[in-house]
Structure 1
C-alpha cells in the first residue's frame, strides 16, 4: 500500500530493505527524466510548456540543502532579499516580483506544502523528509491563484508506506553546527500507515558581536516535526493527513555596515527573533473509471517576532558620530484556512484536463512597538508609537486547464481562472509618551478593497522528433492590491493609501530534450515579462526617520536560461546551467521618493548566474565490507547585483560550493562535508542610508548596510537506515 496522491519518482534509498547500500547500486546508465507535480498530477517535465526546476530527495541530499532558503540560493533565475529570518523576505523569479516587499501579503511567489498554501516568509523552514520540490517559473495563476505572478515553490513530503522502515542520523561541524534527524514509518493496520519525522539543527549566527567579546551574535536553533497518516480503505480512495510543526529561536536579523567586516555591534543579548508555525493538511482522492475527484483542506497558524536595536553602533557611529541607543519590536500572527475541490482526467485519459473551485481565508495581525531611540528627530518620528494592524483576505476562484492534441505532434494548452477577492484593513496608531508632535496621540484606520479578475495561459508544445520538443507560452499573472505593514500616514490622521494590484504578461519559448543515445538532457528557454504596478516602500528620510511611502513601479525583464544533464558513465553525472536576466525599471510615479530612475536595474537580480554539479558513485570493497563510495560537488555563481532601486551600490558576486564525500554501507552512511567551501561572505541584502548634514546632527557620511552570508562550515555526518 502506497499513499500516492501525488505520485513521484521514488527514492530507492528509502524503498529497499537495506537502503543504505542498495540505493547506490547501478540500475542503468542513462538519465532518468524527472517527474514533476506542476498541475496536481505526475507528469514528465518534458511535457510541460514552461520551465520547472525539479529537485528530488537524492538531489537535495547531494547538494546538502536542508531548508528552503538554501534551495532558493542554489536555483538559477531566483533572486532573494532576506536577512534570513524576517517574514517579509522577498523572492523574485526571472526578475519578476516586488521591488521590495511592502507587506507579508505582497508576495509574487506562492509556496505550497502538500497542496496547501503557506506564507512565503517561511523560506527558512526546514525541508524535512521531502519527496521532491518543484519550482515552477512564470505566472501560475491558472491553477495556483493570486500571488503566483512570478512562480510557485511546490513542496511535497514523503508519504507513509506499508513497510516498517526509517533512518536516524546526525551531523557535527564547525561554527557550532549540530544537526539531528529521525524518520520512522510504521504500518498500523492493513489499510492505515503512519510516518513520523523529527529534525533539529543549530549553528552560530553569521556575524560576531563586538560588544560580546566578538562571539557569534546568537546561536539560531530550529526544530521541525511532521506526523503523517495514510489511509487507503479501498482501491479507489486514498486519504492523507499531515501535521507540520516548526519552531525557531535566536534567529536575530542582523543589519550592520557592509564594509567587509563580519561584525555587528549591539548590547549583549539585545536581539532576538523567532517563530512557531503549524500547518495541517487533509487530502482525499477518489477515482472513478474516467474521473478523479480530489479534496484538499488546509489549516495553519504562523507566528513570528523580532526585537532589538533599530540600528547597531557601527551604523550609528558612521551616520551620527556616536552610538545612539534604540530598541523596537514587531510581531506577526497569521491564521489560514483553505479548501479546494478538483475534478480531473485519469492518467490513462487521451488528454489532460482539470477544473475546480478554491476558497482561501487568512487573518493576520502585525504589531509594532517603537520602544525608544536617541537618534536625532525621533521625538517627531511617526514610528515613535505603538501600531496595531489587522489584515484579512477572503478569496474564491473557479479554474480549469486542459492540454489536448491538435495533431500527432502538436499539443495545445489553455487555462483560465476567475477570482473574487476582498481585502480588509484595520489599524490603530498610539503615540509613545515621548512623541513631540502636537495634536491627537491616537488615530484609527478602517478600509477594505474588492476586486475580481482573470488569469490564465495559452501554450503550444510541438514534438520535433523522439528527442526534441519545442514550446511557446503566454501567461497572465496577478497580485492583489493591499495595505502596507509600515505605512505612517496614519500618524497624521490620514487613511493609508493602498498599493495597487500588480499584473504581469509573460512570454516563454524554449525546448526540452532527452537524447538517450548521448545520455544527455538539455533545456534552453527564452523569456520576457512586463509587470505593471509592482511595489516599493521608501523611507522618506532614512537617516533620521522611519516614515515611509509606498509606490507602484512598472518593470521589464528579459533573459535566457539553459540547463543540461549528462551521464557519460554509469557512475558519473554532470549537471550545469547558465542564466541571464536583465530586469529594469520602466516607469516610476511622478516625484518618486524612491531614489530610482527609469532604466535602473531591479535590485537583488544578478545579470548572470551559473551552476555546476558533479556526482560520482562507485561500488567497491573496503576490507571485507561491500560499500559504495560517493562524492558530490555543487557550485553556484551569481554576478554582482544592485542593492537598491536607486542603484547606489552593488552587492558583490557570489561563489557557493558545497562538497561531500564518504561511504554507504549496510552499517550506515558516513560522510565528510563542507558548505560554502570557499568561505564566500558576500552580502545577502543591502540598503543605502543617505548622509545627514552636520548641522542636522549627522556626520555628512552615508552608509551601505545589510547582512552577510554564513561562512565555511566543515563537518562529519552519520546516518543509519533500518
Structure 2
C-alpha cells in the first residue's frame, strides 16, 4: 500500500543521483592532499606571520527559542548542553545519535539500524516509542521539526547541536515533554570559506567531507556540502567470517541566501541523505570478545534509507521586532529486515535445527511543516515571541513479507494534522528579577487505515482521533551577582495519543496521550571572560500514561499500553580554560527514574511499580581535556600548532527493559585526538573507544532464557587530515 494524496505538498522536491563512493573518495582525497601540499609550501615561504594562533574565547550565544534571536544561555531558566560543530568533528561524532549518547543525562536505545531509536532526557521519554510519530523529545533541524527516527544519519556541515532539557512544549509543541534537540547547520556567508576533511581507520572506517561557500553576486550567497562515510559492524557473520554488514552513507546539501534588502533575507536549502546496508542488529548475549551472528550473507543487501528535505526561510526585520517564516518538506523512505538469526532461534526454541527468521519493515513519510512567528529584536530588554505552526504528515509502515512469504503481511497508513499557536516572554520584574512565561494550544487530528493478512484471511481497520491540549511553562530568574543567576521553572508537557506502527490485529493500534509536570531549580555561573563557567540543576518530572509497547517474542504480537513514570535527579556542568592553552570541562548527571504503576498480562512479562525506567542509568558523566599550544619549529614547519584532546565518558548500569529482567553493564569509554596544524592545515591521529569495550546499544529479554542486544563498535584507530580556508 502506498502513500495517499500528498504529492501536492511538495515544495521543491529534487533528485540527487547516487555517485560511486569510490570515485568520490578518490577525488576528494586527491584534491585535499594537493591543496594541503601547496599550502604547506606557501606557509614555509611566508613564515610565522601566516601561522595559526590559539583562538580567543568567543561570546557564547544560543538560539534555544527558535528564530534568529541569539540569547546568553545564562539568562535562560532551564538546563542545556551545547555542542559546537568543532567539538563534533574533533570527537568523531558521526551522527546526532553519537552526540546524544555522549551527553550525560541523555539516553538512547537503538539497534544500530537507520530507523529505530528511543530518546530520554533526564529519565523522561516513552518507555518504548509506539510509532514514528511518538517521541517525548522533539528534534528540530534549522527551525523545522524532523522525526527522531532520523538521528542515525550523518552530521552534515553542522554548526551546533543544542540539547534543551526539561519540557519544551511551549515553543516546540507536542513531542517535547522531556526536552528538545536543536540542530543548526552552517549557512552561506558573504566571505569565501570552506573545508576539506578526510579520515581513514580500522574496521572499515573512513570519512570524506567538504564544504564550499561564499558570495555569488552582490545579493546572493551559496554553500554546498557533501559527506561520504562507511564502517563495518562489529559483528562477524559465522557463515562468511566477514562483518555482518558494511554500512555506507552519503549526504549532500545545497543552500542559497538572498539578501533582498538590508532588512529582508531568503534562505533556500535542499539536502539528500542516503544510508545503505544499515540493519537492525539482534545479537545473542553475552557477546564475548568477538560478537557473532549466524545469518544469510545477503540479508542486509536491500536495506536502505533515503531522506530528502527542502526548506524555505524568510526573515524580515521591523523597527520593533522581526518576522520569520520557515517552510519545510521532508520525504523519507526506509526498508530493512528485522532478523532473528539462527543462534537467537536456537536459544528461544531449544531446537538445534532452528533457522533464522526475518520480517521486512518498510516505512514512508511525507511531512510538510510551516511556522510563522514574530519576535523581539536581538538585545531587547524584554524577549517576546508569538507564532502559529502547522504540520501535515502522510506516512505508511508496512510488513509486506517475512521468511514464510506474504501470507501474514500488514499494511498501515497514517495521517497527522497538527495546528498550534504559541507565545512566550521573558520580562524584568525588578532590578534583579525576570519572569519567563509561555503557553501553547495545539489541535491534533489523526487517522489510521490498516489491512492485516493472516493465512488466507484479510481484515481491515479504520480509526480516527481528535485531540487538543495546552502546554506551557513559567519560571523566575534572580541575578544573585553579576556572574551568578539562580532560577526555577515549572512546566507542563504533553505527548499526544495515536496509533502504533506495529499493530497486527484490529483493536491493538490505539494508545492514550501522556501528560507531564516537571519542576527545575538551578544556577548558572560564568566569569566575564568565560574562562570559568558552571551550571547545576535539581529536577523532578512526573509523567502520566507514558507510552509502552507490549511485545510477545514467541508470537511476535505487539500491543500498546500505558504506564506512569517519575524521574528526579541532579546535574552539574563546568568548564575552565587556563592561560597555558589547557581546557578542562566535564558534566555529571544522577537520575532516579522509576515506573510507578503496575501493568499486568503483557507481552514478555509483567511490569511492576517500582521498576526502574529502561535505558536510564543512575550515574553518567563526561570529562574532557583539550590543549592547544604553538610549539617550536621542526620538519620545516615555521610555527606549528599542537592540538590535543582526550575524552572520558562513563555510563552506569541501567535496566534493559521495563520488566527489569536484567541490567546492561556500566562502561567506560575513552577517545583521543592528537593533531599538528600549520597555517590552515592539520594532520591528526585519532582513537575511539580505546578500552575496546563492546558495550550495549540496547538489550532485551525473551522468555524463558534468551538475552539479546546490539554491541557498540570496539577500539578503532585512524589518521585524518583537515584543510580550512
User: When the two structures are superposed, what TM-score results if normalisation uses the length of structure 2?
Assistant: 0.90
Query: Could you tell me how far apart the structure 2 residues matched to 1:266 and 1:551 are?
Result: 33
Once the two structures are TM-superposed, the CA of residue 662 in structure 1 deviates from its matched residue by 1.3
Q: Which residue of 2 aligns with 1:716?
A: 719
Q: Residue 113 of structure 2 contacts residue 278 of structure 2 at CA under 8 Å; is this kept in 1?
A: yes
Unaligned runs of 5+ in 2: 1-38, 44-48
Q: Residue 508 of structure 2 contacts residue 559 of structure 2 at CA under 8 Å; is this kept in 1?
A: no
Once the two structures are TM-superposed, the CA of residue 31 in structure 1 deviates from its matched residue by 7.7
Q: How does 1:499-514 map to 2 (within 5 A)?
A: 499-514=511-526
Q: Residue 206 of structure 1 contacts residue 710 of structure 1 at CA under 8 Å; is this kept in 2?
A: yes
Once the two structures are TM-superposed, the CA of residue 55 in structure 1 deviates from its matched residue by 1.1
Over 3 Å counting, the alpha-carbon distance change for 1:501 and 1:23 in structure 2 is farther
Structure 1, residues 217-244: CA drift from partner, whole Å, max 9, x if none?
Answer: 1110000111010111211011111112
Q: How does 1:284-683 map to 2 (within 5 A)?
A: 284-307=314-337, 309=339, 311-320=340-349, 321-322=351-352, 323-372=354-403, 385-432=408-455, 441-490=457-506, 495-516=507-528, 519-540=531-552, 542=553, 544-589=554-599, 591-593=601-603, 594-623=605-634, 624-625=636-637, 626-666=639-679, 668-683=681-696
Query: Could you tell me how far apart the structure 2 residues matched to 1:52 and 1:329 are?
Result: 38
Structure 1, residues 3-43: CA drift from partner, whole Å, max 9, x if none?
Answer: xxxxxxxxxxxxxx999998952354x68545343343211
- Of residues 83-92 and 41-50 in structure 1, the stretch that sits farther from structure 2 once superposed is 83-92
Q: Residue 534 of structure 2 contacts residue 575 of structure 2 at CA under 8 Å; is this kept in 1?
A: yes
Say if 2:274 is the partner of 1:247: yes
Query: Could you tell me how far apart the structure 2 residues matched to 1:93 and 1:561 are?
Result: 12
Q: Which residue of 1 aligns with 2:221?
A: 193
Find the residue that maps to 2:499 and give its secondary structure.
Answer: coil
Q: Residue 372 of structure 1 contacts residue 384 of structure 1 at CA under 8 Å; is this kept in 2?
A: no
Q: Residue 324 of structure 1 contacts residue 373 of structure 1 at CA under 8 Å; is this kept in 2?
A: no
Q: Residue 578 of structure 1 contacts residue 610 of structure 1 at CA under 8 Å; is this kept in 2?
A: yes
Query: Could you tell me how far apart the structure 2 residues matched to 1:570 and 1:50 are?
Result: 32
Q: How does 1:54-93 map to 2 (within 5 A)?
A: 54-93=82-121
Once the two structures are TM-superposed, the CA of residue 326 in structure 1 deviates from its matched residue by 2.5
Query: Could you tell me how far apart the structure 1 residues matched to 2:277 and 2:202 are?
Result: 18
Over 3 Å counting, the alpha-carbon distance change for 1:671 and 1:517 in structure 2 is closer
Say if 2:230 is the partner of 1:219: no
Find the residue that maps to 2:559 and give its secondary structure.
Answer: strand
Query: Could you tell me how far apart the structure 1 residues matched to 2:138 and 2:231 are?
Result: 28
Find the residue that maps to 2:74 and give its secondary structure.
Answer: helix
Once the two structures are TM-superposed, the CA of residue 484 in structure 1 deviates from its matched residue by 1.2
Query: Could you tell me how far apart the structure 2 residues matched to 1:478 and 1:305 are?
Result: 30
Structure 1, residues 562-582: CA drift from partner, whole Å, max 9, x if none?
Answer: 000011224111101110001
Query: Could you tell me how far apart the structure 1 residues matched to 2:117 and 2:52 are?
Result: 38
Q: Residue 494 of structure 2 contacts residue 515 of structure 2 at CA under 8 Å; is this kept in 1?
A: yes
Q: Residue 599 of structure 2 contacts residue 606 of structure 2 at CA under 8 Å; is this kept in 1?
A: no
Structure 1, residues 202-222: CA drift from partner, whole Å, max 9, x if none?
Answer: 011121111112x10111000
Over 3 Å counting, the alpha-carbon distance change for 1:572 and 1:36 in structure 2 is farther
Once the two structures are TM-superposed, the CA of residue 591 in structure 1 deviates from its matched residue by 4.5
Once the two structures are TM-superposed, the CA of residue 587 in structure 1 deviates from its matched residue by 1.1
Q: Which residue of 2 aligns with 1:7?
A: none
Over 3 Å counting, the alpha-carbon distance change for 1:554 and 1:237 in structure 2 is same
Structure 1, residues 237-266: CA drift from partner, whole Å, max 9, x if none?
Answer: 111111121000011211011113311111
User: When the two structures are superposed, what TM-score results if normalisation uses the length of structure 1?
Assistant: 0.90
Once the two structures are TM-superposed, the CA of residue 538 in structure 1 deviates from its matched residue by 1.5
Over 3 Å counting, the alpha-carbon distance change for 1:669 and 1:27 in structure 2 is closer
Query: Could you tell me how far apart the structure 1 residues matched to 2:677 and 2:76 are?
Result: 35
Query: Could you tell me how far apart the structure 2 residues matched to 1:668 and 1:677 are?
Result: 26
Query: Could you tell me how far apart the structure 2 residues matched to 1:96 and 1:348 are?
Result: 33
Find the residue that maps to 2:510 and give its secondary structure.
Answer: coil
Q: Residue 271 of structure 1 contacts residue 308 of structure 1 at CA under 8 Å; is this kept in 2?
A: no
Q: Residue 338 of structure 1 contacts residue 361 of structure 1 at CA under 8 Å; is this kept in 2?
A: yes
Q: Which residue of 1 aligns with 2:702?
A: 689
Find the residue that maps to 1:587 and give its secondary structure.
Answer: coil
Q: Residue 384 of structure 1 contacts residue 432 of structure 1 at CA under 8 Å; is this kept in 2?
A: yes
- Of residues 546-555 and 37-46 in structure 1, the stretch that sits farther from structure 2 once superposed is 37-46
Find the residue that maps to 1:622 and give its secondary structure.
Answer: coil
Q: Residue 312 of structure 2 contacts residue 327 of structure 2 at CA under 8 Å; is this kept in 1?
A: yes
Once the two structures are TM-superposed, the CA of residue 104 in structure 1 deviates from its matched residue by 1.2
Q: Residue 270 of structure 1 contacts residue 308 of structure 1 at CA under 8 Å; is this kept in 2?
A: no
Over 3 Å counting, the alpha-carbon distance change for 1:279 and 1:22 in structure 2 is farther
Unaligned runs of 5+ in 1: 1-16, 375-382, 434-440, 692-701
Q: How does 1:140-159 map to 2 (within 5 A)?
A: 140-159=168-187
Find the residue that maps to 2:101 and give its secondary structure.
Answer: helix
Aligned residues: 672
Find the residue that maps to 2:610 and give its secondary structure.
Answer: coil
Out of 702, 706, 710, the position equivalent to 2:709 is 706
Over 3 Å counting, the alpha-carbon distance change for 1:24 and 1:654 in structure 2 is farther
Q: Residue 569 of structure 2 contacts residue 592 of structure 2 at CA under 8 Å; is this kept in 1?
A: yes
Say if 2:255 is the partner of 1:228: yes
